[in-house]
Chain A
Amino acid sequence: MSAEVEGHRGSRILGGTDARYAAIATLSTLVVLGGLTALVVTSPGWPSVKEKFFNRQEFQYWFSDVAHAFVANVQVFLIAEVLILIWALTIAVIRGLPGPVFFPLRVLAVIYTDVFRGIPTILVVYLLGFGVPALQLSGVPSSERFWGTVALVLVYSAYVAEVYRAGIDSVHPSQEAAARSLGLSRWQSLRHVIIPQAVRRVIPPLLNDFIGLQKDTALLSVIGVVEVFRQAELGQAADFNYTPLVIAAVLFIAITIPQARFTDWLIERDRRRQLAGGGTG
């Protein structure tokens, strides 16, 4: 039984453990990748594409500038992610509040998610980044990085609130009934029983949204933040070579791939736990 589970786990990525399967998979991969590479490398425009997009000197010359600018993106998404986790959960909880008293709050939460999921992120960034500082209110920051981060938090919280809501809805009502029968208040059962289970279930889709957010930090370029995309574009404009943009792409991949594998690992771990739970239950 446990051996079968082990074998099944191995199958998740490589597709099987027996040698023949592995050999065929390897051969097939080589043929497909080799074919694609040959197609690109032998295309008539390849020498100029290589020169314009994958230029070694350009890569070395611009790497430190582009990587330095990427720090701005990392700072923005780290701050935004923390704020999104809190703000989105607040919205999701408000949306799930029962009773007629909370009706206006629920309506506001619905409007919020509708509006901020409906407007393209680049427009929210643009309108907040130029619009709010134009109000010239004293005490309100005019920093475009500040307002760019606010825009990302507003937009992505709308998505993440929906993810949370799906998680909360997925917890069986008997869980709350059981918690209430133990004497926990509605709030306590939400806090100690429902949300912990809900959050655990939504971590993979949550990370999915965060990867989207990380890539969208490049949108802050439109309001004047010299982040990775803008710095790469400056390099492109200065040298007429697209290699700096390839550097930016490589940097994004370098941070998103580990997160994707981490998400896979979390999903796999949860699946195993559920299997184990199903066996004993």
Chain B
Amino acid sequence: MSRKLLLPALIAVALFAASCGSPASSSNSSGGSGGALNCTSSALQTHAPGTLTIGTDNPAYDPYFTGPAGGQWKGKYNHDPTAGQGFEDAVAYAVAQQLGYTREKVAWTALNWKQSFKPGPKDFDFYLAQVSISPKRQQSADFSVPYYTSTQAIVAKPGSPIAQATSLADLKSYQFGTESGTTSYDDINAVIAPTNQPKVYDTTNDVTQALSNGQIDGLVTDFPSAYYIANVEPGGLKIVGQFTSGSGADTWGLVLAKDSPLTACVNKALAQMKTSGKLQAIEQQWLANLSHAPILR
């Protein structure tokens, strides 16, 4: 008799607990304005206790990371994130500081950006490498509030016909290429809607090589990366123009594990950095020299 009742009762309790648990945690992560939020480093449950582990891509490129190469970040165009130099590097350390972590208490880990928002446990507390916030990605990972809003930009060879384009309509007949899994791919299709399907490569370096080889006419990526490809890397390429993302804005967020207890605190830190003007100052310091490119409509 009692055994018959026990099982349904247990199930009911479990269901109740589950139904209570999920909305509570999701509102916690998306809100960030909770009054009782304790965001001091001693209260935060990080990946490695006492340390804030930050993930980024390897190689870490200019202008997001501009320190010298070092550690695992080896190579001519690579930059060691522990230097704290470059736009995203500075944002990462500013968030860490806001959460109460000194520079010595920050550890870096390298991970391909496409792996950062895959479902499952994470080896980092938060990750940043120009990862755009998208509803699909938010299904398997948490994103902070945006720390940067970018446009998409088109890079081409200076003498090529596409370089003369002055409107989005002029671009339709060209062959575009981009990195796989990027919001740039979606934006090519949504905003330019070219007649040829865009070619897709594993890395932006491969897209740049394909552009130099004449295998594509135009490369599409976020504006700071495009600026870097056209002006810093050798190869004599130019920015044709920039355009607004199909979703309205290409916003970048810090990536955290789904329902991470840190999301609310990271959001609070970013909000404080915006209020104090710190975030704007970082952007001014590292990205202000990006000259403007014509806006294509």
- Complex Cα spacing A161 to B198, Å: 37
Chain B residue with the shortest CB-CB distance to A222: B202
A interface SS class: helix
Interface presence of B201 (CB below 8 A): yes
Q: Which of A74-82, A163-171, A195-203, A233-241 contacts B (4 or more CB under 8 A)?
A: A233-241
CB of B200 within 8 A of CB of A130, answer: no
Show 6 residue pairs from A and B whose CB-CB distance is below 8 angstroms, ordered by the A residue: A133-B213, A222-B201, A222-B202, A226-B199, A233-B181, A237-B185
Interface presence of B238 (CB below 8 A): no
B interface SS class: mixed
Interface presence of B180 (CB below 8 A): yes
Interface presence of A13 (CB below 8 A): no
Interface presence of A96 (CB below 8 A): no
The residue from A142, A221, A239, A240 contacting B215, defined by CB atoms under 8 A apart: A142
Within the complex, the shortest CB–CB distance from B15 to chain A, in Å, comes to 15
The residue from B119, B177, B201, B209 contacting A134, defined by CB atoms under 8 A apart: B209
Q: Which of B191-224 contact A (CB under 8 A)?
A: 197-202, 206, 209-210, 212-216
Known: A238-B136, A240-B139. A133 touches B180 (CB 8 A): no
CB of B216 within 8 A of CB of A134, answer: no
- Complex Cα spacing A136 to B215, Å: 11
Chain A residue with the shortest CB-CB distance to B205: A130
Chain B residue with the shortest CB-CB distance to A130: B209
Known: A233-B181, A238-B136, A239-B136. A224 touches B214 (CB 8 A): no
CB of B136 within 8 A of CB of A240, answer: yes
Contact with B along A215-245 (1 / 0, CB 8 A): 0000001111110001001100111100000
- Complex Cα spacing A52 to B120, Å: 13
Within the complex, the shortest CB–CB distance from A142 to chain B, in Å, comes to 5
Interface presence of A58 (CB below 8 A): no
Which residues from chain A contact B119 at a C-beta distance below 8 Å? 52
Known: A233-B180, A239-B136. A226 touches B197 (CB 8 A): yes
- Complex Cα spacing A233 to B200, Å: 10
Which residues from chain B contact A234 at a C-beta distance below 8 Å? 180-181, 185, 200
Which residues from chain B contact A136 at a C-beta distance below 8 Å? 213-214
The residue from B139, B181, B185, B210 contacting A224, defined by CB atoms under 8 A apart: B210
